[in-house]
């Protein structure tokens, strides 16, 4: 089925055929939305055809994806997505919320949300016969591309800032990618990657540049939709009284703005198909020291002015967000907003989530820190159902985690010493 019928520029609206462009709009550099043939999908599929599939990964949503499933044996590439949603009743109570959940993306094969994007890009690379896939990364996108590539023997090259957390660099190396550390920022690595891809003919996965990353990230929206259907059976039945509830509010941390744009795209797909009758509210959270998109949102426009990014949340530390315009729209068009949080709030969020059994990296914690602020300011109220996306595992950045909690005491191995301590 040819459901992938082209691209549409998010800035000028110009449409392109699938073979006509590869990355961004040739006229204005705008991010390209993948265009699907909704009528063809509608003719062939109903929601029930998807939700009854016996497939516990993002490939469950193949009918809504612009790539073919990379066939073959079960590998980590076939295990991206389908992450659990946990209820957080005690934290909900603390925040004055009746309905609070967390979707835990640290359960992905390489322990971050980025596996969703990399799985789809690697599938695309295989389709177009790309010999080498390359990406710039603050760490997670690279680890995801390296891991998903390793799964099917695809060659990968990763550029990351030399300051990336050790665990992320270790993942890149262990997965066997060619790793090049750049003596500069993520933004420097980003620009170099595009030059290298053009020079050597590599297929570039860069976030907010390659249109397929958002198509991978949108699968989280499909999972949230399906989870919500199971919870409430209310998203696609116009006359269901449960629809009188406020819409689901989703908190997501934002760096380049591609996760939030991908989520938005997923819900827009479902809306266009008539499978949901209203959009959830999407709230983006940025670190105060890396808030170019929040700034644009607050200014009321779509102009993204670069900042000099500085935050402990390395995964969302970005000078010039590459998917800023769509990221602003994701909040604006869904009745959401942007919230900025301090590094100390991020560290506090790591410590707050841990006792619920969830170990988050700083960027994941930022989303929860944003919720704490939103709850205290009445941006969300007691009856609002709220879902926080944890985008990455705490094991990715152990140094930050250790800053979030007090040190453990060291004692002599005697009962006497223990008693004295207690």
Q: Give the start-end residues of each E strand in 14-137.
A: 15-16, 32-36, 85-87, 100-104, 132-136
Q: Which of 140, 249, 317, 340 binds ligand PLP (CB under 6 A)?
A: 140
User: Is 361 a binder of ligand PLP (CB under 6 A)?
Assistant: yes
Beta-bridge partners for 250: 282, 387
**What separation in angstroms does the CA of 26 have from each of 36, 98, 100, 130, 378?**
20, 48, 43, 21, 43
Task: State the residue number with the nearest CB to ligand PLP.
Answer: 392
At residue 245, φ and ψ (nearest 5 deg) are -60, 155
User: Is 259 a binder of ligand PLP (CB under 6 A)?
Assistant: yes
Q: Write the Ramachandran bin of 393: left for phi over 0, alpha for psi from -120 to 50, otherwise beta.
A: beta
Cα 230 from Cα 225, distance rounded (Å): 9
Q: Which of 118, 154, 193, 207 binds ligand PLP (CB under 6 A)?
A: 207
Cα 341 from Cα 288, distance rounded (Å): 5
Torsion sign, CA atoms 287, 289, 290, 293: positive
Q: How far is the CB of 97 from ligand PLP (least distance, A)?
A: 22
Q: How far is the CB of 272 from Zn ion (least distance, A)?
A: 21
Which one of Zn ion, ligand PLP, none is in contact with 364 (Cβ closer than 5 to 8 A by kind)? ligand PLP
Name the residue nearer to ligand PLP (CB basis): 259 or 270: 259
What mask, x for binding Zn ion by CB under 5 A, covers residues 24 to 53? -x-xx-x-----------------------
Which one of ligand PLP, Zn ion, none is in contact with 11 (Cβ closer than 5 to 8 A by kind)? Zn ion
Name the residue nearer to ligand PLP (CB basis): 57 or 393: 393
Cα 303 from Cα 319, distance rounded (Å): 14
Name the residue nearer to Zn ion (CB basis): 28 or 383: 28
User: Is 161 a binder of ligand PLP (CB under 6 A)?
Assistant: no
Q: How far is the CB of 114 from ligand PLP (least distance, A)?
A: 5
Cα 255 from Cα 233, distance rounded (Å): 33
Cα 68 from Cα 296, distance rounded (Å): 36
Using CA atoms in the order 306, 310, 311, 313, what is the torsion angle rounded to 10 degrees? 60
User: Is 365 a binder of ligand PLP (CB under 6 A)?
Assistant: no
Q: How far is the CB of 255 from ligand PLP (least distance, A)?
A: 3
Residue 39: is it exposed, middle or buried by C-beta count within 10 angstroms (0-12/13-18/19+)?
Answer: exposed
User: Is 315 a binder of ligand PLP (CB under 6 A)?
Assistant: yes
Q: Which stretch binds ligand PLP (CB under 6 A): 110-118, 185-193, 239-247, 370-378?
A: 110-118
Q: Which of 147, 247, 392, 394 binds ligand PLP (CB under 6 A)?
A: 392
Name the residue nearer to ligand PLP (CB basis): 174 or 411: 174
Q: Which stretch binds ligand PLP (CB under 6 A): 154-162, 183-191, 273-281, 361-369?
A: 361-369
User: Is 20 a binder of Zn ion (CB under 5 A)?
Assistant: no
Cα 81 from Cα 112, distance rounded (Å): 10
Cα 158 from Cα 123, distance rounded (Å): 18
Q: Which of 31, 149, 258, 317 binds ligand PLP (CB under 6 A)?
A: 258
| Contacting residues toward Zn ion, per CB under 5 A | 9, 11-12, 14, 25, 27-28, 30
Residues that bind ligand PLP (CB under 6 A): 112-114, 140, 207, 253-259, 315-316, 361, 363-364, 391-392
């Amino acid at each position: 089925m040819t459901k992938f019928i082209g691209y549409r520029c998010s800035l000028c609206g110009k449409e392109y055929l699938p073979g006509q462009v590869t990355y961004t709009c040739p006229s204005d550099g705008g991010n390209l939305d993948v265009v699907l043939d909704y009528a063809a999908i509608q003719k062939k599929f109903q929601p029930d055809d998807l939700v009854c599939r016996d497939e516990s990964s993002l490939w469950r949503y193949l009918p809504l994806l612009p790539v073919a499933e990379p066939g073959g044996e079960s590998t980590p590439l076939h295990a991206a997505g389908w992450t659990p949603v946990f209820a957080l009743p005690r934290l909900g109570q603390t925040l004055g919320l009746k309905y609070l959940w967390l979707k835990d993306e640290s359960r992905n094969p390489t322990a971050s949300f980025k596996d969703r994007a990399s799985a789809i890009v690697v599938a695309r690379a295989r389709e177009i016969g790309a010999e080498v896939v390359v990406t710039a990364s603050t760490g997670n996108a690279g680890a995801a591309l390296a891991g998903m590539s390793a799964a099917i023997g695809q060659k990968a090259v990763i550029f990351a800032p030399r300051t990336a957390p050790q665990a992320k660099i270790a993942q890149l190396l262990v997965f066997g990618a060619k790793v090049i550390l750049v003596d500069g920022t993520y933004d420097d690595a980003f620009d170099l990657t595009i030059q290298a891809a053009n020079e050597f003919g590599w297929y570039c996965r860069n976030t907010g540049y390659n249109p397929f990353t958002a198509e991978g990230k949108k699968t989280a929206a499909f999972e949230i939709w399906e989870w919500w259907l199971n919870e409430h059976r209310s998203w696609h039945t116009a006359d269901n009284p449960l629809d009188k509830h406020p819409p689901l509010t989703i908190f997501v941390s934002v760096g380049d703005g591609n996760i939030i744009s991908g989520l938005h795209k997923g819900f827009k797909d479902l809306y266009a198909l008539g499978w949901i009758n209203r959009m959830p509210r999407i709230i983006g959270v940025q670190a105060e020291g890396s808030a170019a998109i929040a700034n644009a949102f607050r200014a009321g426009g779509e102009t993204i002015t670069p900042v000099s990014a500085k935050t402990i949340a390395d995964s969302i530390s970005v000078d010039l967000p590459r998917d800023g315009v769509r990221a602003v729209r994701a909040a604006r068009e869904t009745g959401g907003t942007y919230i900025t949080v301090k590094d100390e709030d991020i560290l506090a969020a790591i410590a707050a989530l841990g006792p619920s059994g969830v170990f988050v990296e700083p960027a994941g914690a930022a989303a929860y820190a944003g919720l704490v602020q939103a709850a205290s300011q009445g941006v969300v109220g007691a009856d609002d159902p709220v879902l926080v996306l944890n985008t990455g595992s705490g094991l990715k950045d152990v140094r930050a985690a250790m800053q979030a909690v007090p040190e453990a005491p060291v004692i002599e191995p005697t009962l006497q010493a223990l008693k004295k301590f207690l």
